[in-house]
Structure 1
Amino acid sequence: MRSSLPASKFRAGLVLATVAVSVLTIPACSGGAKRTRLAYEERPVEALYNTGYQRLNSRRWADAIDYFQEVERQHPYSEWSRRAILMQIYAYYQNNNYAEAISAADRFIQLFPGNPSAPYAFYMKALCNFEQITDVGRDQSYAQQALTGLRDVSRRYPGSSYATDAAVKINMVNDQLAGKEMAIGRYYQRAGQPLAAINRYKSVIDNQDYQRTSHTPEALYRLVEVNLTLGLRDEANRNGSVLGFNYPGSPWYAEAYALLSEEGQQLEVAPTGQRESWLRRIIPG
């Protein structure tokens, strides 16, 4: 996600360091900081690759990509070409060229599906989508693609460092998607469409992946609110009881308890937490 970009970039660099890459000591090619397309000139593969690697270490991502592409073009069936694709994935990613990084990862997976570095390519595909996730007020297609990719990494490479990091990010993406459902539900509730709001809140409660997110207590509280609006006191009381049983210390339960008490309903479990401020209830988070 955008907010985790710097740390993720750092982690991606650490991950890349685990990919076996041999580098020969060759003087760097001269050239200024301004990027120019490389003219075709047949050169030793080691010279091309290592110049690209030096550009990578200098954080000249676009220049590095040019040299690694030249390795592929001039020596497409060599071991250097395989390494060059991996380096392009990383350089594109660092340069925020996510679509190009995904394309390079797809190319590596297609050409070398059984290679020991294939997990890195799968992981980087998922990471590129993950870092393009936007706030819940916008389209969540990147979140869906990231979730698919991260699950794929976990399924293919269980027990790996990639799977470990994917598991953390899967929880974050699920929280994001649940947050999107809540945002839509609150919109429908404010718009006087209680049935549509109920469907959104229930999707958070019924979805096993969303049940473990931070949005579940609020979803239960909102169901109490909406059901009371519809005059469905028994249903409101049931949702309040579920909220109290699972989250007795949540401020959302304190709110539900007070709301139901005002309506003459009595819940068995007394809240152990404090009520939310009115502003936080209107604008969660």
Structure 2
Amino acid sequence: MLFKRADRSMAPAKRILLALSVATAPLLLSGCMSSEKDIDLSTYVDQTEPADVLYNQGLANLNAGRLAEASKKFAAVDRQHPYSEFARKSMVMGAFANYRQGNYEEAIGSAKRYLTLYPSTEDADYAMYIIGLCYFRQIRDVTQDQKEARQTVQTMQEVVTRWPDSEYVEDAKAKIRFANDQLAGKEMQIGRYYLERREYLAAIKRFRSVVETYSNTRHIEEALARLVEAYYAMGLTDEAQTAAAVLGQNYPDSQWYKDSYKLLQGGGLAPRENAGSWISKAGKLITG
């Protein structure tokens, strides 16, 4: 995103600072002789800074990599000039600055507030995209909970659905694919755990979820092969043969298919599809 600088000169702010320095000198001197607290000149000036000046300072800090300072400037615009055009812009830019710093909760909060106040503006897609990025950056290893992966899919799908022409759609789709792969990986991990414990029904439930919900992930081959293994162990040979047949149709050169074929062959069976099986129906949705 290109950051445009407002045209307003910063000279007025400098003149204000000079005038305040002169005007408040007697006050500061008398304050030293009284019990009252000294006037914080820098705070007073900050509170009277024009919105465009603060916004430009935020952009300058952002472009220079001074992210913490940028966040402060954008927050100051929102605080001092609420509901102004620069406050609206600062809200989403502040969310971006917090995202870059890894302050994900703050970034999500600011972006959600922006969407609540300005759901139809030109930067609404960017605000939603920032929320998705925050969730995406927090996705954990498949051995851990995948809450952030689910949130990534949900948020990025909103970007794709609500703003199909947005410049962020392609990357949103890529983030969805990665998050779905993580979710499928989690299902596979749990399924393998149950399979090793010979809890076949629980294992089948997990592998079926991968086949039906995450058919375009890299885990689909193993999921079908594990279904062959689990159904065969339970004596449900018709389902085992169907899973092997669907696996062979979609991935004929896969090592998973070779292993499944060998397993069936050891019991005098071969892959054979039952068109009425849920596996056969789900197999038609596999995109590879």
TM-score band (shorter)?
0.7 to 0.9
Match of 1:176 among 176, 182, 195: 182
* Alignment-derived partner of residue 274 in structure 1: none
Match of 1:263 among 258, 267, 273: 267
Match of 1:91 among 78, 97, 106: 97
Superposition RMSD in Å: 2.3
> Is 1:126 the equivalent of 2:132?
yes
Once residues 252 and 7 of structure 2 are traced to their aligned partners in structure 1, the CA distance between those partners, rounded to angstroms, is 59
User: Residues 131 and 152 (structure 1 numbering): CA distance in 2 closer, same or farther, change over 3 Å?
Assistant: same
> Is 1:218 the equivalent of 2:215?
no
Match of 2:162 among 156, 160, 164: 156
Once residues 61 and 139 of structure 1 are traced to their aligned partners in structure 2, the CA distance between those partners, rounded to angstroms, is 30
Contact in 1 for aligned 2:241/2:272 (Cα 8 Å):
no
> Is 1:44 the equivalent of 2:50?
yes
> Is 1:205 the equivalent of 2:231?
no
> Is 1:192 the equivalent of 2:198?
yes
Once residues 57 and 169 of structure 2 are traced to their aligned partners in structure 1, the CA distance between those partners, rounded to angstroms, is 33
Contact in 1 for aligned 2:185/2:219 (Cα 8 Å):
yes
- Equivalent position amino acid for 1:241 in 2: A
- Equivalent position amino acid for 2:264 in 1: L
Contact in 2 for aligned 1:24/1:50 (Cα 8 Å):
no
Higher alpha-carbon Rg = 2
Once residues 115 and 125 of structure 2 are traced to their aligned partners in structure 1, the CA distance between those partners, rounded to angstroms, is 9
- Could you report, residue by residue, the CA deviation over 1:38-71 in whole angstroms, capped at 9, with x for unpaired residues? 8353223233222222211221111111111111
- Equivalent position amino acid for 1:237 in 2: Q
Contact in 2 for aligned 1:25/1:50 (Cα 8 Å):
no
Structure 1 gap segments, 5+ residues each? 1-15, 30-37, 270-285
Contact in 2 for aligned 1:48/1:71 (Cα 8 Å):
yes
1:21 shift after superposition: 5.8
Aligned 1:204-283 pairs, distance under 5 A: 204-207=210-213, 210-267=214-271
Residue identity over aligned pairs, in percent, reads 44
Once residues 162 and 238 of structure 2 are traced to their aligned partners in structure 1, the CA distance between those partners, rounded to angstroms, is 46
Contact in 2 for aligned 1:26/1:50 (Cα 8 Å):
no
Structure 2 gap segments, 5+ residues each? 15-41, 274-288
- Equivalent position amino acid for 1:238 in 2: T
1:141 shift after superposition: 0.9
- Equivalent position amino acid for 2:269 in 1: Q
Once residues 128 and 249 of structure 1 are traced to their aligned partners in structure 2, the CA distance between those partners, rounded to angstroms, is 39
Contact in 2 for aligned 1:201/1:222 (Cα 8 Å):
yes
1:216 shift after superposition: 1.1
TM-score, normalisation: structure 2 = 0.78
* Alignment-derived partner of residue 84 in structure 2: 78
